[in-house]
Amino acid sequence: MGAAGGISRAEYARRMGRAIIRLIALIVVYVVIAAIVNNVAIPMVSTYVSSAAEYAPYVNILLGLLFGYFIVYAFADVIYWSLMIRYDHSAAAAVRNVFRIIGIGAMVATIAGGVVGGAAGVALGGFLGMVVGFASQQVLGNAISGLFILISRPFRITDHVTLLGDEGDVEDVTTLFTFVRKDANTVVVVPSSLILGNKLYVRRPAQQAQTAQSSQKPQGS
């Protein structure tokens, strides 16, 4: 599935290699810049401005947020290209989006907790993590459900389905929603989390059904 669209597995492997190199480069650059800022720049400025050291935490926050954002996205890209070797774009992109959401939330909670420090920092980090988790609970639930749907593929685009009392043709399947067209003017948007917990009926077009039946016949029959 991943080699579809005229791109070979070797090309996907090369792109994954470039994504890994980019991730490592970002981490190295962040470590080097943070070391220079904290061990060279701030002490040097402090010799002229005595209060410069007081701004060191804010500088580190900015560096952490800036590089953390790019590092999280680079790591998610590594996951994406590694999955593209075996799965299609929809499934790989779904996993990438989940890693981005979790990574950004964890980064913000960690930085906030580290700034405060001590028991208060742990409490703040835990509180922010709880807030982010609560706020994104529904989104993550839908995203994870959509991920399972994209990987297991119980239905495909153009399949005729009946789910949750609605019947129509599958028009699109994304991480969060499945779009089912009932008629020319009506599209039903079904959250992915509801699909996993309910029974559905699938009827494929004649050509797809014949292909599926022929692939299930035992060899030599």
Residue of 65, 54, 53 lying closest to 114 (CA atoms)? 65
Last residue of a domain, one of 120, 135, 150: 135
pLDDT at 48: 82
Which 8-state DSSP code applies to residue 217? S
Q: State pLDDT tens for residues 4-25.
A: 455 677 777 788 888 889 999 9
Same domain, 26 and 101: yes
What is the radius of gyration, based on Cα positions, of the chain?
A: 24
Same domain, 103 and 200: no
169 by DSSP, 3-state: which? Answer: strand
Same domain, 111 and 209: no
Last residue of a domain, one of 135, 168, 190: 135
Does the residue 4 lie in any domain?
no
How is residue 218 written in tokens?
A: 């035992």
pLDDT at 73: 92
CATH number, domain of 209, equals 2.30.30
Q: Is the dihedral of CA 206, 179, 200, 197 positive or negative?
A: positive
Q: State pLDDT tens for residues 152-162.
A: 888 888 888 98
* pLDDT at residue 200 is higher than 70: yes
The length of the chain is: 221
Tell whether pTM > 0.95: no
Q: State pLDDT tens for residues 87-117.
A: 777 778 878 888 888 888 777 777 766 665 5
Tell me the pLDDT band of 221, cut-offs 50, 70 and 90: very low
Q: State pLDDT tens for residues 76-95.
A: 998 888 778 777 777 788 78
Q: Which residue range(s) make up the domain with 130? A: 9-135
pLDDT at 25: 93
Q: State pLDDT tens for residues 24-59.
A: 999 999 999 999 988 888 888 888 877 777 778 788
Same domain, 14 and 113: yes
Same domain, 123 and 195: no
How many folded domains does the chain comprise?
A: 2
Between residues 79 and 147, which one has the greater pLDDT?
79
Same domain, 104 and 36: yes
Helices (H) and strands (E) in the chain, counts: 8, 5
